[in-house]
Amino acid sequence: MLSAAVPPDVRKVCDLPISFRSALGLRPHLKWKQKVGPFSIYDSSVSGCHLKPLTMIQMKNENSPMTNGKSSSISLIMGDVIKEWQIAGGRALSIGARTLVMGVLNVTPDSFSDGNLFLSPDKALAHAEQMIAEGADIIDVGGESTRPGGAFVVSPEEELKRVLPVIRQLAKRSTVPISIDTTKALVAQAALDAGASIVNDVSALRFDSYIAVEVANSGAGLVLMHSRGTPGAMHGLPPVTDIIDEVTSSLLSSISIAEGGGVKRESIVIDPGIGFGKSQEQNIELIAKLDELMAAFPDFPLLIGTSRKSFLGRMLKNADGVDAPADNRLHGSMVTITVAILHGAHIVRVHDVKAAVETVRVADGIKAIRKSGVSQSSSH
């Protein structure tokens, strides 16, 4: 046993996945210290895996199961590995190298912050192209409002009427991945056929588990977002006692359903669902404790959407006690994005892409320094 031999400056990382051990060239139960790049790795069946808190493993391994037979560098920061999110068309998005920005495109008459602005295909396409020019990595197209407290249920036919013309044209004009924001398998299938490569399900398969089958058949990416109840009624639900436990257990159940439907683990992204069936305090708690939530899902990238949401309006109310309107929540949105990134979020879903891209660049730079623990000489 090597526990006594572990130096005091070595930080323990919870059991590394077998795939990660294999990628580093480690056997399951080494009983000696092994040097990998700048890291010293201590491993035994008792003491677990330990890594000195440095920044980077530069690893070249043509036979690594994590690099698909290609030479690559893998970044290890507190057990965090740059990996790929598998989406439709045999494509993949790099997760971990930098925070990705998903731009919101609501093709609806009643979304909470931009309803009716982009209902026509021409306006929707122009806005999508603007977000792409501003640096969006993904465009998330939605044809049914999920705003809590007042959204109308939309038929699959109406939803498809709204989203398909936009998805078809956008897929022809741009290579930026398109996500379909839907809770219906029929809509997901048609959108994927039209050129979408990701399904963003705010019900995490609670409303229609057959979405998993459509995702599996197409090889698409899948975002599983935690929510409680239905959009029209969730504000009336009593708050749960422990929101971290609730989100964790619910998402674990959804992941199990997704994998049971044939979805590959590397295609799944999770989302804690800020604003969906949570109290004001619980929304803030989830952002503040995002790293605790992520610890329960070490194999999955995390997406978070705080942009313009009502909890920000309440936090930013004016002197008369009136909530800030949706279009006056930009700065609050960017603060929450920054906090989420510093706590480990991999993807942020936003309405204001230009501001978010700039925020992400700064937050990613701060995050890199925090995790490296390396002092930089001052510069101005």
Of residues 102 and 231, the one with the higher pLDDT is 102
* Distance from C-alpha of 106 to C-alpha of 310, rounded to nearest angstrom: 17
Q: CATH assignment of 83-369, given 3.40.50.720, 3.40.50.300, 3.20.20.20, 3.90.470.20?
A: 3.20.20.20
Q: How far is CA 134 from the centre of its chain?
A: 20
- Domain extents for the chain? 3-80, 83-369
Count of other CB atoms within 10 angstroms of residue 114: 17
Side by side, the strands of the sheet bearing 347-350 are 268-271, 221-225, 198-201, 178-181, 138-142, 100-106, 347-350, 303-304
pLDDT band at 343 (very low <50, low <70, confident <90, very high): very high
The amino acid that residue 204 corresponds to is: A
What value does the mean pLDDT take over residues 55-75?
Answer: 37
Confidence of residue 237 (pLDDT cuts 50, 70, 90): confident
Give the pair of three-digit tokens for residue 318.
Answer: 């004016």
Confidence (pLDDT) at 152: 67
% residues pLDDT > 90 (the chain): 64
| Number of neighbours of residue 256 by Cβ within 10 angstroms | 11
pLDDT cut 70: percent of the chain above it:
72
How many other C-beta atoms are found inside a 10 Å radius of the C-beta of residue 112? 20
Element of type H or E holding 178: strand 178-181
**Is 309 considered catalytic here?**
yes
Q: What is the pLDDT of residues 133-187, one digit of tens each?
A: 999 999 999 999 876 655 568 899 999 999 999 999 999 999 999 999 999 999 9
| Nearest one of 182, 174, 177 to 223, comparing CA atoms | 182
70 has catalytic annotation? no
- Rg value, the chain, Cα: 21
Residues 127 and 105: beta-carbon distance below 8 Å: yes
Amino acid occupying residue 366: I
Mean pLDDT within 48-57: 34
Residue 43 is which amino acid? Answer: D
Catalytic residue among 184, 206, 309, 367: 309
pLDDT at 310 over 70: yes
Model pLDDT, residue 11: 34
Given the residues 228, 349, 367, 371, the one annotated as active site: 349
* For range 90-116, the mean pLDDT: 83
Provide the mean pLDDT of the chain.
Answer: 80
